[in-house]
Amino acid sequence: MEPIVIEGTPKTPSIRFDAKDGVFEIKGRSIPENSVEFYKPLNEWLDQYMQVPLDKTVVNIRLEYFNTSSSKCILDVFKRLEAIHRSKHDVEINWFYEEDDEDMLEAGEDYDSIIKVPFKMIEIVE
């Protein structure tokens, strides 16, 4: 399965999901006006990966900003990861937030309370 790699823009995050090593990353800003359009290929890729996931998948979320429209799309990504976890495969989500960014920490905690996948909150200290 080919990795999905998308360069970041001022409004959309960089994406690197690689089925070879099972390491997925979403990084930067996710504030597009139409987030469904942006996340559609990502979720389609995950639908394929879910058929034959690796024993362990590590997901790194390093978002500086995201809008409420993206928050739903990110939840869709997590729901697919939850399905992989339910099928007895290891999945770990690392939620990075900058020092003192309580809003981003709270956002991670929201997802942690909704999604039944091990979440790790990791503070980035400058």
Partner 1 sequence: MSFDLENLVSDLDIRGAVLYYKGNVDSETITKALDLVERKLLVTREAPRLRKKVYNVLVESLQNLYHHSDRVPKGYHAARADRFGLVVMEKIGRGYRITTCNFVSAVRVKELEEKLTRINRSTPEEIKELYKDILNHQEITAKGLGGLGLLDIARKTGHRIDFRFKKYDNLNTAFRLSAVVAPV
Footprint of partner 1 (CB under 8 A): 10-11, 31, 33-37, 39, 65, 67-73, 75-76, 98, 100-104, 106, 110, 113-114
d(CA 74, CA 37): 13
Q: Which residues pair with 119 in a beta bridge?
A: 93
CB of 7 or CB of 103, closer to partner 1: 103
| Alpha helices by DSSP H, the chain | 35-49, 68-86, 102-114
CB of 19 or CB of 74, closer to partner 1: 74
Residue 36 dihedral angles phi and psi, to the nearest 5°:
-60, -45
CB of 18 or CB of 98, closer to partner 1: 98
Q: How far is the CB of 97 from partner 1 (least distance, A)?
A: 10
Q: How far is the CB of 89 from partner 1 (least distance, A)?
A: 23
